[in-house]
A and B are shown apart, each in its own frame.
Chain A
Amino acid sequence: MSNSGEKISRPPIRAQAGSGIYIKAFFGLYLRDLRVLMREFVTFLLRVGMQPLLFLFVFTYVLPHMAGGNPMAAGSGPGFGTVILPGLMAVAIMFSGIAAVALPLSSEFGITREIDDRVMCPLPLWAVALEKVCFSAMQSMAGALLVIPMAYYIPAVPVRADVHNWFLVALVLVLASLLAGSLGLVIGSSVSPKQIGLVFSIIVVPITFLGCVYYTWAGLGRIRWLQIVVLLNPIVYMSEGLRAAVTPSIPHMPWWAIIPALLLFTVVLGKLGLRGFRKRVLT
């Protein structure tokens, strides 16, 4: 490994050798993030819970109770809660990815350069970035699962979650969460702290509203051009994937289209994010 030869008598290696140190360093970074998250646990719950909570409350409880009904709620019929449950899970996943990776990375790369100590740990840079993505994926999954009890208790008409294939649920959850973390990595390593607010208006809001969150992809059939354009939006596969897994009675894309698309977006965004991360760390 080293070409020290006879010239140098190597000092004793104090740290542990081999790949064991990589796993321990990765674990150390994970523990650090966990410590910080636990300290802000209430903030975390509010962050991931508030949006689906209010959404469910207004659209599946308040509006159906209003006299005459609201065109939107009425139009979606009693199954609206069931339509948006997977969609809200997808939004929770994506929000967590951005809040857990993009926001902290952007500021840590910015003025404070806090990331310095962590990128100086004995891990390859890709592993430091991967840790961020994995940690965010864990938060995304927690956020998505938090939506399920809300959708069970809040709507006026109960939501029909109907899981047959637990393997598909797990697979979609994990892939969608990694995808969200990768998206967060891309944003966090390419956007300065000053512009991070803008990200919400020009990225987060559009991909949410055009992400088959509040309607199904099949439902877009009458607006054919839109149905095709939204295929470029990764959130579509997250929503439809969760539909296939959690509420299969609602029309959804087939799993064999969803899984490869989720994988593809994860790999592409992951690579882009890693490239941005390396650029920010190395000069």
Chain B
Amino acid sequence: MKPLIVEIEALTKIYQSKLRVVAVDGIDLELKQGEIFGLLGPNGAGKTTTISIATTRTLPTSGTVRVAGIDVVKHPAHARRHIGVVPQFNTLDRSLTVYENLYFHCRYFGFSHLNARSRSMQLLDQFLLAERKGVYPGQLSGGLAQRLQIARAIAHRPTVLFLDEPSAGLDPQSRLAMWSAVEGLRKEGITVLLTTHYMEEADSLSDRVAIIDHGRVLALGTPEKLKTTFGAQTLFDLKLKTHEALEPLLATLNARPDVTSAEATADGLRVIAPTSDGLLPDLVQAATGFGLRDLAITEPSLETVFIQLTGRDLRE
């Protein structure tokens, strides 16, 4: 059996200020060595708080987190040697060059001058940053800065890398480059925990995914398993001109055996069904009388799983 790298047990975090906010509400997770694990959920679901606690930056209200067997609350300094972090924001050292950001990071982790230099040079090559080694982070594009942050986070060869919303604010091309950088980490055997609210990201990068909302884990498994367990459903969003007297239509649809559910939305109606075979023509025909303006079909994906589990869209 592969060793467990991250063990999160009964983790809670309650912010007690004017408002009592339960950010994390009893999360249990285990990450095995070498896997890429996706924490998927909308903004405010508790993803960042969970990562903050695991990376020793936030103290939990209760529960434990162990990284490489070390309790992160009891021995934060010791645990940090096993942890690499790419936070949501650019935290590169503005006073140091690209090369120096890597070099001094290595020195913070006890590398000798020679080891720090060779590790930095190697990372510059690996992350295609060698040409820019002498520039300051302020002159880097978002995509390059993100790449440098990942390079810096793994410079001390951590056991686990935490990536908090790694593709937030990146253009599509940079996002793809970032994905391939993360894929590359798999070869090095680094365990990765990433948070995202992009379905595609969780789906294509992660070996396993936990869907979280309101600080709780709603579902956990491989992307394939989640899709099959929670019924790979297709989503039909219909935009209609007329919103009145939809009830008979909804009743007819809900009565059909090939429809899981049909409900009214702000723009028209949403139908969830296991398959579109046979249903689509009927749907179009029935909706035409209400002035059908647009029809969007979402194929079975983690997104439809998420909507079924939480009743809301990820990007809300």
Contact = CB atoms under 8 A, between A and B. Distances in A.
Interface in A236-283: 281-283
B96 A32 contact: yes
Given A1-B78, A16-B110, A25-B108, A8 B3 contact: yes
B69 interface: yes
Task: Give the most central of A27, A28, A29: most B CB within 10 Å.
Answer: A28
A117 B70 contact: no
Interface string A209-247: 000000000000000000000000000000000000000
A171 interface: no
23 contacts: A4-B66, A7-B4, A8-B4, A11-B159, A13-B82, A15-B156, A21-B81, A22-B77, A24-B110, A25-B110, A27-B107, A36-B96, A112-B91, A112-B94, A114-B95, A117-B108, A120-B55, A120-B57, A120-B83, A120-B85, A121-B80, A122-B78, A123-B108
Interface string B187-216: 000000000000000000000000000000
B87 interface: yes
A119 B107 CA distance: 13
B183 interface: no
Contacts of A124: 76-77
B39 interface: no
A213 B90 CA distance: 43
Interface residues on B, range: 35 or more
A88 B57 CA distance: 41
B259 interface: no
A2 interface: yes
B78 A10 contact: no
Nearest to B138: A112
A10 B107 contact: no
Contacts of A194: none
B258 interface: no
Interface in B48-87: 52, 55-59, 66, 68-71, 75-78, 80-83, 85, 87
A14 to B, nearest CB: 5
A2 B71 contact: yes
Contacts of B108: 25, 28-29, 32, 117-118, 121-123
B299 interface: no
B105 interface: yes
Contacts of A283: 52, 57-59
Contacts of A39: 95
Task: State the majority secondary structure of interface residues on A.
Answer: loop
B5 interface: yes
Given A36-B95, A113-B91, A114-B91, A10 B3 contact: yes
Contacts of B95: 36, 39, 114
B3 A11 contact: yes
A114 B92 contact: yes
A122 B158 CA distance: 12
Contacts of B76: 124-125
A81 B70 CA distance: 60
Given A11-B159, A122-B110, 15 more contacts: A2-B70, A8-B3, A13-B68, A13-B82, A15-B109, A20-B110, A27-B107, A28-B110, A32-B107, A117-B93, A119-B57, A121-B109, A122-B80, A281-B57, A282-B59
B104 A31 contact: yes
B230 interface: no
A283 B81 CA distance: 21
Nearest to B5: A11
Contacts of A4: 66, 69
